């Protein structure tokens, strides 16, 4: 006799949760209160993973994903939920994480919504005999003809390159600017790219690169440009740039609001990337110092500084963890935008012992954010946290949090 389970809730990756005899079962593509028949796909000591064989009762919140590749592709996770429900779940997820690891008193604002579709300005396609994305939890390729969450210009380029013989490549990376109508194609291959391939792509793109042992410009400009607000930014082939351009401006405005800058403030921008946040803030403060380990990012940050005629910013190429204890100057406001792993111990020690009056923490992982906030709340009051949806249709959520130094008694 088949066993029917009821989904309790969603976990932080958007999977349904079932509890049976002390074992947690995570079920892909399942929603709360749905009654399902499942097949176990993976077993560990205290948990299992499963997929749905049959839905005996579906949630009224379930929708049919518009993407024909959704069930096989590993790129999106919650397209079976209406966007409004995705936002509610992401905000609730952040709230639960903060309550569990930090405090129930963290003031969490409403999540900032994004455009649902065509928002990604960068996409990486895998190439074997066919071109597509990796299958969920697999190295097999899901061949596709388009992707609903990437920029329309990328889909157009993909349709052109799909007609060419690029089987010698292992990956094809597309980058597109939203506001300047520029695009870049990067073919990851050690093989010689024939003139016919390059000539076929030239009319449709700004730049063509070959990525093998080293980056090689095959056609056009060595970079593309993007504008955010009044600023113009250079994007090299391996530069980090927020993949959701329109939402990036929203995020930078939120950082600016939380920073509450005066003309006397000196800003320390840790993990500054190509300097986008620091430069965005530079017009409102006395001085900005950005620190970033990626050398190309720092080269771009300095170029972006020149392009925007900013003379009160400086950028240093260094590992934040190895340089923070050497910083002698006082910075009144500190911006941190660390990788998914969050802040290291040395940086946390610096933040707790420096003289900053305020920290604005930008995070792509609410779990490591919560871990770090638990450490920082001894010295700083957590004033406000705003989730920002940078990645619709996925379980990822960005957070911006402002912390103000507690007053000594």
Domain 5-62 in CATH: superfamily? Nucleic acid-binding proteins (2.40.50.140)
Using CA atoms, how far apart are residues 333 and 330, in angstroms rounded to an integer? 9
Using CA atoms, how far apart are residues 114 and 277, in angstroms rounded to an integer? 19
Using CA atoms, how far apart are residues 26 and 338, in angstroms rounded to an integer? 29
366-376 and 345-353 helices, crossing angle to 10°:
40
Active-site residues, by number, are: 364
Q: Which residues have CB under 8 Å from 364's CB, separation 6+? A: 339, 340, 390, 396, 398
DSSP element (H, E) containing 403: strand 398-405
Top-level class of domain 86-115+244-405: alpha beta
Instruction: For CATH 3.40.50.150, list the domain ranges present in the chain.
Output: 86-115+244-405
pLDDT of residue 239: 87
Instruction: For CATH 2.40.50.140, list the domain ranges present in the chain.
Output: 5-62
Q: Which residues of the chain have pLDDT under 50?
A: none
Instruction: For CATH 2.40.50.1070, list the domain ranges present in the chain.
Output: 122-225
Residue 244: DSSP 8-state = B
pLDDT of residue 1: 55
pLDDT of residue 45: 86
Overall fold of domain 122-225: OB fold (Dihydrolipoamide Acetyltransferase, E2P) (2.40.50)
Q: How far is CA 383 from CA 239, 377, 406, in A?
A: 32, 10, 11
pLDDT of residue 165: 93
Residue 346: DSSP 8-state = H
Would you say the C-alpha torsion 243, 249, 255, 258 has a positive or negative sign? negative
Q: The tokens 């065509």 sit on which residue?
A: 118
Q: From 134, 110, 112, 107, select the one nearest 123 (Cα to Cα).
A: 134
pLDDT of residue 371: 98
pLDDT of residue 127: 96
Q: Which residues have CB under 8 Å from 273's CB, separation 6+? A: 239, 240, 241, 292, 294, 297, 301, 337
């Amino acid at each position: 006799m088949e066993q029917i389970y009821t989904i309790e809730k969603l976990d932080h990756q958007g999977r349904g949760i079932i509890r049976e005899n002390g074992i947690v079962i995570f079920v892909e593509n399942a929603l709360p209160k749905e009654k399902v028949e499942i097949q176990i796909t993976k077993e560990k000591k205290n948990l299992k993973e499963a997929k749905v064989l049959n839905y005996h009762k579906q949630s009224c919140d379930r929708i049919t994903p518009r993407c024909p590749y959704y069930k096989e592709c590993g790129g999106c996770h919650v397209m079976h939920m209406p966007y409004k429900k995705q936002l509610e779940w992401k905000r609730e997820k952040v709230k639960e994480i903060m309550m569990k690891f930090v405090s129930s008193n963290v003031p969490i604002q409403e999540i900032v919504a994004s455009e649902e579709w065509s928002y990604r300005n960068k996409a990486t396609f895998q190439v074997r005999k066919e071109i597509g994305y990796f299958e969920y939890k697999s190295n097999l390729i899901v061949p596709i003809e388009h992707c609903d969450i990437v920029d329309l210009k990328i889909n157009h380029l993909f349709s052109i390159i799909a007609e060419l013989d690029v089987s010698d490549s292992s990956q094809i990376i597309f980058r597109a600017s939203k506001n300047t109508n520029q695009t870049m194609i990067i073919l990851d291959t050690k093989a010689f790219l024939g003139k016919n391939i390059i000539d076929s792509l030239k009319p449709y793109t700004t730049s063509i690169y070959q990525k093998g042992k080293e980056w090689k410009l095959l056609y056009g400009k060595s970079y593309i440009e993007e504008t955010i607000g009044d600023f113009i930014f250079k994007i090299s082939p391996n530069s980090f740039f927020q993949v959701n351009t329109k939402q990036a401006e929203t995020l930078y405005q939120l950082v600016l609001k939380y920073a509450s800058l005066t003309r006397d403030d000196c800003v320390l921008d840790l993990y500054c990337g190509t300097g986008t946040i620091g430069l965005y803030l530079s017009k409102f403060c006395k001085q900005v110092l950005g620190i970033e380990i990626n050398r190309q990012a720092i080269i771009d940050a300095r170029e972006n500084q020149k392009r925007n005629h900013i003379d009160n910013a400086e950028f240093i190429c260094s590992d934040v963890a190895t340089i923070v204890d050497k910083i002698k100057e006082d910075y009144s406001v500190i911006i941190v935008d660390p990788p998914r792993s969050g802040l290291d111990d040395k940086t946390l020690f610096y933040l707790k012992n420096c003289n900053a009056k305020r920290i604005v923490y930008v995070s792509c992982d609410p779990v490591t954010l919560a871990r770090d906030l638990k450490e920082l709340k001894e010295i700083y009051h957590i004033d406000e946290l705003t989730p920002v949806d940078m990645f619709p249709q996925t379980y990822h959520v960005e957070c911006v949090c402002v912390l103000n130094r507690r007053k000594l008694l």
